[in-house]
Structure 1
Amino acid sequence: MSDTDTLLRFLFERTDVRGNLVHLDASWRAVLDAHDYPEPVRGLLGEALAAVSLLAATIKFDGSLILQAQGDGPLRTLVAQATNTHKVRGLARWDATLDPDATLTELFGQGRLVLTVEPRVGEPYQGIVALQGERLSEALEHFFSGSEQLPTRLWLAADAERAAGLLLQRLPSAAREADDWSRVGMLAATLSREELLELPAEQLLYRLFNEEPVRLFEPEPIAFRCGCSRARIEQTVKLLGADEIEALLAERGALEVNCEFCNRTYHFDPVDARQLLAEDSHHTPPSQHQ
């Protein structure tokens, strides 16, 4: 497919409606390579990655957008992250055998949906709502309708090879036309899961909106990037403290830290671990004597 791992922005001429279309392919399979997710988890995680990619492209910022769904059901946590440069990663945690036909709320139980904007500079912004709806797209639309955000519609799908999503958003305008938003939404509502996953981007948009004047922008590439590094893991190890590190070394002979996003394991033998403690001690300011 010529539109693999791309985000395509578009807008409807002479209206206040814009849209994004995303296809995640190798980037999605890289997430799946890290863990053997059961089918219900895999589908939701793929939808979450498509959704966060679409939503991150609607805001101007330098940093990350993080989507989290948490609950007391068998699917405990779902995390998807996208940066302003279209780097994505995600993970899920679950406890038990999952019903492949379960709805979103059946999987999560009593849950909440959290969207966090984490700028590289400045304080993060977070929005939290109760997790509602049978599908992730419904829960996200509820998030936007329950806040002061822009009216937003989403269509999401994922299988073992591709995660895909379509977003429509109504922009603030002094001359809003409710008919435009309603008309475009009804056209998009005819979209099937198979079309979203299988059709090339321009063909899909033409099938849906061939009678609408649509302006397409240049597609933007998307890639999987975990963001973990040995330096970051070293800082995590240091936070354990000397007593905990020595206890783990005595019990296991070495330290191993696993990154949940990419499943990479970082190994610290006794020399490595104690060197971190020595570095920490070296940077501790000397006590002051009067």
Structure 2
Amino acid sequence: MTDRLHRFLFENADVRGEVVQLDESFTAITRRTDHEPAVDRLIGEGLAAVALLAATLKSACDLTLQLQADGPLRLLLVQAGSDGSLRAMARTGDRVPADVPIDEQAVQGTLAITIDPEKDGERYQGVVDLRGGSLGAALEHYFSESEQLPTRVWLSAREGHAAGMLIQRLPASDAADGDADAWARADQLAATITGPELRELAPGEVIRRLFHEEDIRLFDPMPFRFRCRCSRERVAAMLEGLGEAEMRETLEAEGRVEVHCDFCNEPYRFDAVDIEAMFTDPASRSPDSRQSH
């Protein structure tokens, strides 16, 4: 597993940062779909974004980034779990142009960040419009509006390589009184990073090249991986919710009911026996089977 997020902290200064690379997860997700390169790049940037955002959370949460628009890109949905799992999906209308500002790819789009605590705590959602020409700029706007923390974000994805970097100015503390220029210096140094460097250099090398004159504390890397949460049981529950009449109509027309997961494209097929069992009174089923007698 090569997908890792590296966190770092400026000693004696209220500045923290993260660098992430997600080549394996990005490749595992995009090879299951047939999107054009411009959409794949947005998926890669979204994966890097949720990994960076998830690493800033103090408690175990699921984090979802959702971009909705009128088109050509209609939907980008990317999720990160506190266990390091990642998944993503996209839906398009017309062809999504490459190398144009994101507000031309996702016309009249909005960006929502949703945080769902795994245990105690309230669900949180922040919504901002797209601005600044990129997903990274939209995330900076989100932090400015929702967190009131000065934050810079760089995202890059190309040909199986997805990466991102975040630096953030934390609320002032007594320990940082002697280095009032740390944030301005960190911002200026980080701004020299290029997309190819972010994708191709190891995260530790990125941090060393940018901040080699700073006193930096490095933390243990955080692993990420692609993992979809779909299952036959969840799909069956969804089909039951659609109702018996609709399932039987589909069965009569198609000979079976087939559903593909939007995230991993895994096919789930249900034949006449499966549908019969799905809508039969459980009391008439055998104890160890969904099939009816």
Shared fold per TM-score greater than 0.5 = yes
CA 1:272–1:28: 2 relative to 1, 3 Å:
same
Equivalent residue for 1:109?
A: 107
Provide the C-alpha distance between the structure 1 equivalents of 2:115 and 2:222, rounded to a whole number of angstroms. Answer: 21
Provide the C-alpha distance between the structure 2 equivalents of 1:85 and 1:149, rounded to a whole number of angstroms. Answer: 27
In terms of mean alpha carbon deviation, does 171-180 or 74-83 score higher?
Answer: 171-180
Equivalent residue for 2:11?
A: 13
Provide the C-alpha distance between the structure 2 equivalents of 1:12 and 1:226, rounded to a whole number of angstroms. Answer: 35
Tell me whether 1:266 sits opposite 2:268 in the alignment: yes
CA 1:178–1:41: 2 relative to 1, 3 Å:
farther
Equivalent residue for 2:196?
A: 194
User: Equivalent residue of 1:113, what SS?
Assistant: strand
Provide the C-alpha distance between the structure 1 equivalents of 2:228 and 2:91, rounded to a whole number of angstroms. Answer: 17
CA 1:178–1:273: 2 relative to 1, 3 Å:
farther
CA 1:101–1:281: 2 relative to 1, 3 Å:
farther
CA 1:188–1:236: 2 relative to 1, 3 Å:
same
Matching of residues 47-196 of structure 1 within 5 Å: 47-121=45-119, 123-175=122-174, 178-196=180-198
Tell me whether 1:224 sits opposite 2:222 in the alignment: no
Equivalent residue for 1:45?
A: 43
Provide the C-alpha distance between the structure 2 equivalents of 1:184 and 1:52, rounded to a whole number of angstroms. Answer: 22
Amino acid at match of 1:148: E
Amino acid at match of 1:242: E
Matching of residues 17-28 of structure 1 within 5 Å: 17-28=15-26
Equivalent residue for 2:212?
A: 210
Residue-by-residue CA offset, 1:21-42 (whole Å, 9 max, x unaligned): 1110111101111102211111
Provide the C-alpha distance between the structure 2 equivalents of 1:282 and 1:172, rounded to a whole number of angstroms. Answer: 62
Provide the C-alpha distance between the structure 2 equivalents of 1:124 and 1:34, rounded to a whole number of angstroms. Answer: 31
Deviation at 1:218, TM superposition (A): 1.3
- Structure 2: 5+ residue stretches without partners: 286-293
Tell me whether 1:235 sits opposite 2:237 in the alignment: yes
Residue-by-residue CA offset, 1:39-63 (whole Å, 9 max, x unaligned): 1111111011001001001002323
Provide the C-alpha distance between the structure 1 equivalents of 2:282 and 2:7, rounded to a whole number of angstroms. Answer: 47
Deviation at 1:281, TM superposition (A): 8.2
Provide the C-alpha distance between the structure 2 equivalents of 1:103 and 1:274, rounded to a whole number of angstroms. Answer: 50
Equivalent residue for 2:290?
A: none
Tell me whether 1:245 sits opposite 2:243 in the alignment: no
CA 1:136–1:275: 2 relative to 1, 3 Å:
same
Question: Do the aligned partners of 2:71 and 2:94 also contact (CA within 8 Å) in 1?
Answer: no
Equivalent residue for 2:291?
A: none
Amino acid at match of 1:225: R
Provide the C-alpha distance between the structure 2 equivalents of 1:235 and 1:281, rounded to a whole number of angstroms. Answer: 18
Question: Do the aligned partners of 1:144 and 1:150 also contact (CA within 8 Å) in 2?
Answer: yes
Question: Do the aligned partners of 1:22 and 1:166 also contact (CA within 8 Å) in 2?
Answer: yes
User: Equivalent residue of 1:18, what SS?
Assistant: strand
Tell me the number of residue pairs that the alignment of Structure 1 and Structure 2 aligns: 281
TM-score, reference length from structure 2: 0.91
CA 1:265–1:192: 2 relative to 1, 3 Å:
same
Provide the C-alpha distance between the structure 1 equivalents of 2:14 and 2:259, rounded to a whole number of angstroms. Answer: 49
Equivalent residue for 1:286?
A: none
Amino acid at match of 2:74: R
Question: Do the aligned partners of 1:238 and 1:280 also contact (CA within 8 Å) in 2?
Answer: no
In terms of mean alpha carbon deviation, does 176-185 or 127-136 score higher?
Answer: 176-185
Provide the C-alpha distance between the structure 2 equivalents of 1:262 and 1:151, rounded to a whole number of angstroms. Answer: 35
Provide the C-alpha distance between the structure 2 equivalents of 1:252 and 1:197, rounded to a whole number of angstroms. Answer: 45
CA 1:227–1:141: 2 relative to 1, 3 Å:
same
Q: RMSD of aligned C-alpha atoms? A: 1.7
Deviation at 1:279, TM superposition (A): 4.9
Question: Do the aligned partners of 1:21 and 1:166 also contact (CA within 8 Å) in 2?
Answer: yes
Amino acid at match of 1:62: A
Question: Do the aligned partners of 2:258 and 2:269 also contact (CA within 8 Å) in 1?
Answer: yes
